[in-house]
Amino acid sequence: MQHESYEPVIGLEVHCQLMTTSKAFSPDSAAFGAGPNEHVDPVSLGHPGTLPVANKRMVEYAIRMGLATHCTIAPVSILARKHYFYPDLPKGYQISQYETPICSNGYLDILDPDDEASSPRRIRLNRIHMEEDAGKSLHDQDPLDTLLDYNRCGVPLIEIVSEPDIRTAREAYLYMQKIRQLVRYIGISDGNMEEGSLRCDANVSVRPKGTTSLGTKTEIKNMNSFRNVERAIIHEIRRQINVLKEGGEIVQETLLWDANAQKTRSMRSKELAHDYRYFPDPDLPIIRVSTEWLDDIKSSLPALPEARIEQYVADYKLPLYDAQVLTEEREVSDYFEATLSELLKKGDASDVEPAAKSVSNFIMTDVLRTINEKQAHVDSYGISPERLAALIALRMKGDISSSGAQELFDLMVDREEAPEVLAKEFNLLQVSDAGALTPIVDEILEANPKQLHAYLGGKEQLIGFFIGQVMRTFPGSPDPKMVRSILLERIGALKED
Ligand code: ADP
Ligand code: MG
């Protein structure tokens, strides 16, 4: 393999749109999906004489991400102007951060769920800073002109810059997935790559194995899905290795990923920082983060996936696999925890480990299948944590069989009655009452003398036949174990006669 003598080095710059109501420095709506130029105002259009005011929520969201990724939060940071000329940026500069990002020196751990032998890999974060988005140039709406939509102009972003710690395209993919999971957990973005709320620039270089200095990098833009990030990086690693093998040199440049052609093409040679003429924005005050504010934000953060996984495995004795599936989305994990706590309240399931495993089984099979099929949300697909807990309690008490529980679950998705009520209506309650079953058992034994004779003569597998007959004859769903034991008891009594 050509890869063998080279090691890829990858660093990602990820832009993430923040879900604030208004824009970063002006009061117009930051919502996605309006008609062209409906969400614009004089500030985001850069009219002379307008002044920006920083959105506090943007700062809070940036800090949330910094805390979730173990960053140091700067008590004092500065917003800077980054100058470049492009029609989608009417002010002629972008408000960003340069020398003092709000968050720095963090990390996140990535783990490959498909590779059981792998251990977590720590990817260090250089910084997270705040900036405003630019507008959108539309090149395909008019045969002659490029049209401009400024709705996105001024929408708040954070940029998360990794250290060049990523070594494979797969790791880059997992890193992006991790960022998506985190921003969704802490409620700062929907993390949707296809719609552009998460965007990634990949910096790629290769170096001879065993060396430590960095090779010349290229930067790839325009990858609008997680898979395309992976593909583009694979492609670029191959291209660079081929250039080097043929004695060529890597040119530092910016490349565009063309998803249709599945290859990159050159966009421009790279700007250097001094081309942007960064300087502190004189229109905006210094951002100060007080200890009190920081503590407030800290205490408002939910438990993050790693902490939840640890708790599920240590306290509930769930298999790691269950814990990973349950914590993938925060809503599912919250739903699991709410259901378990409802179930434990019921008293007859006070033992946490079997209760947790039952809830986990239900969520990993029936609940996830149903929300998948219905394209629904775990909070609104039809069964609340209270009702699911009531169903699981019935099952754990042995009042319904496992197939009965499945049937009841499907009924509950569409109907609002309590599971006990539905179980009765649809005859799903297991009859564990020996008194009611015995006459039926006797009846069946009497009605099938040939089979009984054969059974007594040693054909013991016929017990299944008798169980089936009783189950079919009895109204409702008797517990098969109970049927079996009554059958054995009655046959035993016949033998003695
Ligand atoms: P630039 O000055 O080109 O913007 P930075 O040092 O700011 O470069 O880094 C930008 C991103 O590129 C970071 O994510 C960093 O980890 C990554 N990076 C820097 N040098 C390399 C390299 N030689 N190979 C791969 N990635 C790199
Ligand atoms: Mg840079």
Give me the pLDDT at residue 324, please: 93
Nearest CA, atom 17, ligand 1: 11
For residue 90, give both structure tokens: 């009417």
Q: pTM here?
A: 0.86
Nearest CA, atom 11, ligand 1: 11
Asked whether residue 1 is domain-assigned, the answer is no
CATH number at residue 438: 1.10.10
Q: Find the mean pLDDT for residues 194-206.
A: 95
Q: What one-letter code names the amino acid at 41?
A: D
Asked whether residue 444 is domain-assigned, the answer is yes
Min mean pLDDT across 118-127, 166-175, 484-493 is at: 484-493
Residue 287 has pLDDT above 90, yes or no: yes
Q: Tell me the CA end-to-end span of the chain in Å, nearest whole number.
A: 80
pLDDT tens-place string over residues 414-459:
999 999 999 988 888 876 667 778 888 888 999 999 999 999 998 9
Tokens 């993938």 belong to residue: 328
Taking residue 221's Cβ as centre, other Cβ atoms within 10 Å add up to 16
Alpha helix segments (H runs only) across 186-260: 226-245
Question: What is the C-alpha to C-alpha distance for residues 235 and 228, in angstroms, rounded to an integer?
Answer: 10
Nearest CA, atom 3, ligand 1: 272
CA of 13 to the centre of ligand 2 (A): 9
Q: Find the mean pLDDT for residues 125-132.
A: 98
Q: Which domain holds residue 484?
A: 432-496
pLDDT tens-place string over residues 220-279:
998 999 999 999 999 999 999 999 999 999 999 999 999 899 998 888 776 676 789 999
Q: Which of 293, 314, 347 is at the close of a domain?
A: 293
Min mean pLDDT across 196-200, 238-242, 382-386, 453-457 is at: 453-457
Return the top range by mean pLDDT from 58-67, 189-198, 415-424: 58-67
Give me the pLDDT at residue 193, please: 94
Q: Is the CB of 101 under 6 A from ligand 1?
A: no
Give me the pLDDT at residue 267, please: 80
Asked whether residue 29 is domain-assigned, the answer is yes
Q: Find the mean pLDDT for residues 458-476.
A: 86
Question: What is the C-alpha to C-alpha distance for residues 74 and 63, in angstroms, rounded to an integer?
Answer: 9
- Quote the number of domains for the chain: 3
Q: Is the CB of 13 under 6 A from ligand 1?
A: yes
Q: Is the CB of 17 under 6 A from ligand 1?
A: no
Tokens 């807990």 belong to residue: 389
C-alpha 429: how far from chain center: 37
CA of 179 to the centre of ligand 2 (A): 19
Question: What is the C-alpha to C-alpha distance for residues 393 and 351, in angstroms, rounded to an integer?
Answer: 12
Q: Which of 402, 428, 454 is at the close of a domain?
A: 428
Asked whether residue 457 is domain-assigned, the answer is yes
Give me the pLDDT at residue 476, please: 67
